Structure 1
Amino acid sequence: MSYLVKRYTHGLKRYNSWFLLAFLMPGLYLLSAAITPDRHEVWQDVRLPLETPFTSASFDTVAEVVDAQAIFFRDNFDVNRYFNLTEADVGQLEPDHYRNVTAAVSNDITLSYDRGIARIRYLGKDAEMGKSLVDYYARRLVRKAREGISMSGMHIARERHPERMGAIETKPLRALWRPDRFLPLLFLFIASVLAVMALIAALEWNDAALKSERQIARYVNLPVLGSLPDLNKVSQALGDPPEGKSPHP
């Protein structure tokens, strides 16, 4: 057993430069991640005058919606309307799909407001889900605002009437590093190191060179009477200068 350990240790020292290959797979993973979009930004602008009232029990003005937008996104989230389902069909909805949507509503969608323009923005991994959510909330925002104007009797010029501005826009996002890539990168590195160690073991065991006195004795069919140590190591242990160098400067 000790011979096998010594032989493998010798192989590790002999092929130590091969451990650079352990960085190949993690490097390719990061390069692939940097090239492939892993996030998507989706947004829709809505024209919305600051004084616009809302038909909502939670909000009266645009400013209140922006200040408590988390409540706006979660308040009365109509699953049936979002998924275009009837009450009888809602049981057919896949639980994973529903969880993904509700998680995106809580974490990936925001509302900002600047000089009469409200922007609903999604930032997450699923572009199609982002488009669907942005479309849903843009329609809801316009509907609530128009209902509020109608019920309050407020007069707003036609050119300032709440409405969606243009089409939904999308933008793919790329990055070389994100925190959620740490664990996959770590697993890849460990797997690469183990693969290199296995490769070194295979190369060492396929090497036909003699590695020990026992192998020499078996090969020549003669007993080993003695062996010479590494004279360089003996010389260093005795404090002698290396071969070819004078002991005095």
Structure 2
Amino acid sequence: MGFYIKRYLAAFQEHRHWTFMALVPVILYLIVAALRVDSFAITQDFSYSGDVRLAAATRPVDTLTLEAVLADPDQLFLDTLALSQLQQRFELQQDARAIPTSQGLRRLVHDSMNLSSPSDSRLRLAYEGPHAHLGAIMVHFYSEQLLQRVEDGAARHQTPESRVTYRFALDGTPTTIGMASPWNAERLPRAILVFALSLLAVLLLIGILELSDPSFKSERQIARYLDLPVLGSIPDATQLARHLKET
């Protein structure tokens, strides 16, 4: 066994530059992953004017200003009742594997949904993440929630003495844009796995080539093959020439 280990180590020393070949699959994987669409931005715009109020979810008679909701969008996205209804909508989908759990849903909504105001008269509801289908469902659901809460807020805010005038409506249809990110931390474990498998393949290739080489590797092999004692051997001329050149 020790002879074969020394034989393999000698072959590895001779072909150690082949180990750089293990980087080729990793580089190809990272290039393909960087060019592949792995994230989606789904947006729905709204146009508005006047005093827009949203019904407060936890207080049956109070309202929220649009500025307050923009400052803290979780008042819209993480409402308990809304999350429960969103979970039920997800459960109606055919692909059960894509349905997040109730605990994961809150994290998913918090991390991927956003509410912003590009201008004084426009509002934008947006999803950004890797799941286009789930993102489209969430954008549609929260668009409905936003319209309903604005309508309820106007009814709460209106008094018999004064009529609240406002306008809040959808502005176009949802748009979906696919994006390819140059780097994503989730690719690191896969890149390490690809490198490990590639390196293992190179090491196995070196071993297979060494075992398939019929040349003699030691004086002991020669003695066994010829059934004669070996009196001496000529050293490797390449190493001898290198040594003479250095000296």
TM-score range, shorter chain: 0.7 to 0.9
CA distance in 1, matches of 2:241, 2:153: 95
| Alignment size in residue pairs | 234
State whether residues 45 and 124 of structure 2, in contact with CA within 8 Å, keep that contact through their aligned partners in structure 1. Answer: yes
Give 1:69-218 correspondences, 5 Å limit. Answer: 69-75=73-79, 76-80=81-85, 83-84=88-89, 97-99=99-101, 101-113=105-117, 114-153=119-158, 154-156=163-165, 161-218=167-224
Amino acid aligned to 2:17: S
1:226 to 232, 240, 243: 232
Distance 1:18-1:133 versus aligned 2 partners, 3 A rule: same
- Aligned CA-pair RMSD: 2.9
Most deviating of 107-116 and 53-62: 53-62
CA distance in 2, matches of 1:136, 1:45: 14
CA distance in 2, matches of 1:156, 1:135: 26
* Structure 1 residue 16, shift from structure 2 partner: 2.3
**Structure 1 match to 2:34:** 34
Distance 1:231-1:200 versus aligned 2 partners, 3 A rule: closer
**Structure 1 match to 2:25:** 25
Most deviating of 129-138 and 140-149: 140-149
Distance 1:96-1:37 versus aligned 2 partners, 3 A rule: closer
* Structure 1 residue 41, shift from structure 2 partner: 0.7
Distance 1:185-1:98 versus aligned 2 partners, 3 A rule: closer
State the TM-score, normalized to the length of structure 2: 0.83
Distance 1:208-1:182 versus aligned 2 partners, 3 A rule: same
* Structure 1 residue 37, shift from structure 2 partner: 0.9
Seq. identity, %: 27
* Structure 1 residue 74, shift from structure 2 partner: 0.7
* Structure 2: segments with no counterpart, 5+ residues: none
Distance 1:60-1:235 versus aligned 2 partners, 3 A rule: closer
**Structure 2 match to 1:242:** 245
Most deviating of 132-141 and 58-67: 58-67
Amino acid aligned to 1:165: D
* Structure 1 residue 231, shift from structure 2 partner: 7.0
Distance 1:63-1:6 versus aligned 2 partners, 3 A rule: same
CA distance in 1, matches of 2:196, 2:69: 49
State the TM-score, normalized to the length of structure 1: 0.82
State whether residues 12 and 200 of structure 1, in contact with CA within 8 Å, keep that contact through their aligned partners in structure 2. Answer: yes
* Structure 1: segments with no counterpart, 5+ residues: none
Amino acid aligned to 1:195: A
CA distance in 1, matches of 2:116, 2:50: 12
CA distance in 1, matches of 2:14, 2:122: 67
Distance 1:106-1:30 versus aligned 2 partners, 3 A rule: same
Between Structure 1 and Structure 2, the one with more strand by share is 2
SS in 2 for 1:54: strand
